[in-house]
Amino acid sequence: MIAFRRATKLYGTVIGVNDVTLSLPQGAYGLIGPNGSGKSTLLNLMTGQLRPTLGEVRVFGENPCNNPEVLRRLGVCPEQDSVYADVSGLEWVAYLLQLHGFGRRAARQRAADSLDRLGMAPAMRRRMGSYSRGMRQRTKLAAALAHDPELLILDEPLNGLDPVGRHEVTVQLQEWIRRGRGLVLASHILHEVEAVTQSFLLICGGRVLASGSAEEVHTLLAEIPNEIHIRTNDAAGLARRLVEEGAAESLRFDGGESLIVATRNPAVLYARLPQWLDGTGIQVRELRSTDESLHALFSALMRIHRGNA
């Protein structure tokens, strides 16, 4: 379905995507990465909006740049939240369908159906300038789905949606996948993507670091120690105590008063820490756990790729 062969995209001296080789058969994929990791660049390469500086990109076996046959089979929902403020949602989606080659009447009918499926029927004749963010997002999705493409490429499609909206869109996407269509869904939020697809591509710093199923990602997460930041009056003493109890995978000092503890069992550490410190005179002034497991995941993957782990 999609193939990258040593594809690199440079913006001047800035690397957008770095030597990516991928082959994605028909299916649904979540593209996960932090902000600035190259997700949008990768998607723009897939849709032909960017040409790779090196290497090549193939979608449905062809170069997607300026290729109407490929573009006809794609549905794209970009991340940008901008639409024409002075035009109704129906008119806008119908216009985009006309650019697909549909006649005016057919375009309007399809547009209305697509908007209706996404819960936009009551508002589709209103000016888009009066839409909320969630409504704009649904309209964009409707525009991507209206021409019944074979492959859907969505960049942060759940941005701006309330929980009900997220659920509805997730259900739509699940239905989409059940029909055997292709999907590439980019996001920086793991659980959102997890609700839709079980296959992931993890991207960071312009490189695809890992790929696999949800279980494999969670296993990876589980294998990566959590880091806990502790500020105390006696960092050395605390470190000694933790080592004695065997509670830490690794320890490092951060300034004179802080200790960063990496542990695979943070729950145990939280529960037992007061007990361990009882009577030692060690005071804990601040205890902070980074809850960004995705950040930890990517940090760990980067370390592996750099050969530091």
Partner 1 sequence: MNGYAAADPGVLTVGRSGRRVVGLEPAGRDEYRPVQWFLCLICRRWPRDYTEGMPIHDLGYRAWHGRLVPQIGRFWVISQAGIRLAWRNMWLRRTLLLAWLPVIHVGALMFVYEQMLANEPGFARSQPVGTIVPWLQQIPFSDSRHQVWACLLWFFFRYPQLFVMIFVVGQVAPPLVSQDVRTKAFLLYFSRPLARLEYVLGKMVVVWFYLSLISAFPGLLLYCLAVLLSPELSVVWTTWDLPLRVLAASVVLMAPTAAIALALSSLTPETRHATFGWFAVWALGWATYLILEANTLGASSPRRWDFVSLYHTLGTLQYWVFGLKQELTGRVLPLPGGTGFLPPPSQVHVWPAAIEVAVLTLVALAVLFRRVSSPMRI
Partner 2 sequence: MSILRATAAVFAFECRRALGWRRGLLVLGLASFPAVILWLIRYEGGQLDRPDAWPLALFVLIPELVCLLGLLLWVTPIVQTEVEGKTWPHLAVRPAGKLPLLLGKYAAGVFWTVATAWLALALAMWVVWPLDDGPHVAKVLGALAVLSSMAYGALFSLFGIVFLRRGMIFAVGYTLVEFLVRLIPAIIRQLTVQYHLQSLLVAWMHWEEVNRRMGPLFGVTSPAENIATLLGYTLFLLGVSAAILRRRQLVTAVETA
* Residue from 270, 303, 304, 309 binding partner 1 (CB under 8 A): 270
* Out of 80, 286, 290, 304, the residue judged to bind partner 1 by CB under 8 A: 286
Strands (E), 198-249: 199-204, 207-213, 226-232
Query: By C-beta, is 253 or 270 nearer to partner 1?
Result: 270
Residue number with CB closer to partner 1 (58 or 229): 229
Identify residue 143 by its one-letter amino acid code. A
Closest Cα to residue 251, out of 229, 269, 273? 229
Among 87, 195, 221, 287, binds partner 1 (CB under 8 A): 287
Q: How many residues does the chain have?
A: 309
Q: Is 133 in the site for partner 1 (CB under 8 A)?
A: no
Q: Which residues contact 96 (CB under 8 A, 6 or more apart)?
A: 143, 146
Of the pair 177, 273, the CB lying nearest partner 1 is at 273
Interaction of residue 272 with partner 1, rule CB under 8 A = no
- Total residues interacting with partner 1, rule: CB under 8 A: 11
Distance CA 174, CA 195 (A): 8
Q: How far is the CB of 284 from partner 1 (least distance, A)?
A: 5
Residue 100, binding choice from partner 1, partner 2, none, Cβ under 5 to 8 Å by partner class: partner 2
Q: Which does 272 bind (CB under 5 to 8 A by kind): partner 1, partner 2, none?
A: none
CB 53, min distance to partner 2, A: 11
Instruction: Extract the tokens encoding 214.
Output: 């949800």
d(CA 73, CA 56) in angstroms, rounded, equals 19
- 66/275 with CB nearer partner 2: 66
- Beta carbons within 10 angstroms of residue 66's beta carbon: 9
Q: Indicate whether 81 belongs to the interface with partner 1 (CB under 8 A).
A: no
Distance, in Å, from the CA atom of 75 to the CA atom of 152, rounded to the nearest integer, reads 5
